[in-house]
Amino acid sequence: MPLSTRVLLAVFLASGAIGAPAAFQRPTPSAGTTTGAVAAANAFLATLDAAQRSKATLEFNEKTRVVWSNLPSGMPMQVGATERNGLKLADMTPPQEKAALALIATILSREGYQKAMEIVDADQLLETRSAPTRKPGAPIRFGRGEYYVSILGKPSATEPWMMQFGGHHLAINVTMAGNAHVLAPTHTGAQPASYTVAGKLIRPLGDENDRAFELINALNAEQQKQAILGYEVRNLVLGPGTDGKTIPPEGVRAATFTPAQRTVLLALIREWVGILDDQASAAKMKEIESGLAETYFAWAGATTNGRGAYFRVQGPSVFIEYAPQGAGENNIDHIHTIYREPANDYAARAARR
């Protein structure tokens, strides 16, 4: 099947427009369980030859797990750094790719998997647009084939290990430590932020945008005054390459929110937390809700939906940023976001136990 056809198929499958084969569905018997993830990881590895397996598998340690990026293929995070771990989709056979996608679908929620595939398909659109102007022999930077899958450590129901899936504007890092499944740190982005397939509008990060504007406009005048920062923010403050850094909270405290405002805030947070399997995301949302009074919401930019605006959610156990790229209220077609868990990125709490 040609790559362009597979890209469109992935969008239709993710949106439920046509019947989905097993590779694109979340496997019902094992979804959301550590044993299911282990089985899917081993099934993927079993499809690889020795050379491919050496690329796809690495040790799980402090050096390997921090190798991820939001940049296009071929652009390392820093001079001398490896750009990404793993084996890319372009170097897999169709059965191997099917097994890789099944692994991702097992570890993520149905909605999380759909979001990831829509981000990949947006990048394929970038590749389609850039291909006519690429010089002969120049490397491919964008597109579905430039997304990597890696497994760090030995898949285990008890010992820590990690699955990474990433490429341009996507870095999903899920650490499994027994029953603890941790999504942080994970980067999601989109360019273009919206596109159309078969007459259907696709917005990979559309709900994140809409819920945030709903919240800022649900605040009263005093709350908005506290929430809106006195300066412009053009990019993520704690994006890729900033592990271990912290910033003081700014904005309005959710302790001042009405029950209705808290409901909107939790729905906004769930857009990131819900990328992970349902069981793990439900547990995480319960933890976040327990510390909601000490959670802050900060905003920079226009308050009218359809304009560019930066926002941040910062609490005891969650840190989220959403940052349109570039200056001005009209820069809405290129988005970066980050999801982190203070003191628990890469399942640090489970590792300490």
- 27: confidence class by pLDDT, cuts 50, 70, 90: very low
219 occurs within a structural domain: yes
Q: Give tens-digit pLDDT for 169-209.
A: 999 999 999 999 999 999 999 999 999 999 999 999 999 99
170 occurs within a structural domain: yes
- Mapping DSSP to helix (H, G, I), strand (E, B) and coil, where does residue 237 land? coil
Q: Same domain, yes or no, for 170 and 221?
A: no
Q: Give tens-digit pLDDT for 247-259.
A: 999 999 999 999 9
Q: Give tens-digit pLDDT for 209-256.
A: 999 999 999 999 999 999 999 999 989 999 999 999 999 999 999 999
185 occurs within a structural domain: no
Q: Does 121 or 9 have the greater pLDDT score?
A: 121
352 pLDDT higher than 70: no
Question: What average pLDDT score do residues 327-348 get?
Answer: 90
81 pLDDT higher than 90: no
155 occurs within a structural domain: yes
Question: Percentage of residues in the chain with pLDDT exceeding 70?
Answer: 88
Q: Same domain, yes or no, for 153 and 269?
A: no
pLDDT value for 155: 98
200 occurs within a structural domain: no
282 occurs within a structural domain: yes
Residues 6+ apart with CB under 8 A from 276: 107, 108, 109, 112, 174, 181, 183, 284
301 pLDDT higher than 50: yes
Boundary (domain end) residue, out of 162, 178, 194: 178
pLDDT value for 76: 63
Structure tokens at 348: 């640090």
DSSP 135: P
Q: Same domain, yes or no, for 156 and 270?
A: no
15 pLDDT higher than 70: no
Q: Give tens-digit pLDDT for 88-115.
A: 999 999 999 999 999 999 999 999 999 9
Q: Same domain, yes or no, for 278 and 146?
A: no
Q: Same domain, yes or no, for 88 and 174?
A: yes
53 pLDDT higher than 70: yes
164 burial via Cβ count (<10 Å: 0-12, 13-18, 19+):
buried
pTM across the whole model: 0.90
17 pLDDT higher than 50: no
- 73: confidence class by pLDDT, cuts 50, 70, 90: confident
- 28: confidence class by pLDDT, cuts 50, 70, 90: very low
CA distance 110 to 160: 24
Q: Give tens-digit pLDDT for 133-170.
A: 988 888 888 999 999 999 999 999 999 999 999 999 99
Averaged confidence pLDDT in the chain: 89
pLDDT value for 58: 98
Q: Same domain, yes or no, for 144 and 221?
A: no
CA distance 120 to 20: 18
30 pLDDT higher than 80: no
Residue 207 and residue 190 in contact, taking contact as beta carbons nearer than 8 Å = no
How many domains, in total, are found in the chain? 2
Q: Same domain, yes or no, for 116 and 226?
A: no
Q: Same domain, yes or no, for 78 and 121?
A: yes
Q: Same domain, yes or no, for 170 and 223?
A: no
Q: Which of 76-80, 122-126, 269-273 has the lowest mean pLDDT?
A: 76-80
190 occurs within a structural domain: no
- 77: confidence class by pLDDT, cuts 50, 70, 90: low
pLDDT value for 29: 37
Question: Percentage of residues in the chain with pLDDT exceeding 90?
Answer: 80
327 pLDDT higher than 90: no
14 occurs within a structural domain: yes
Q: What domain range includes position 166?
A: 3-178
How does 249-280 read in b/e, with b if 16+ C-beta sit within 10 Å?
bbbbbbeebeeebbebbbebbbbbbbbbbbeb
Q: Same domain, yes or no, for 277 and 146?
A: no
pLDDT value for 187: 98
4 pLDDT higher than 50: no
Q: Same domain, yes or no, for 14 and 151?
A: yes
Q: Same domain, yes or no, for 96 and 146?
A: yes
CA distance 89 to 74: 15
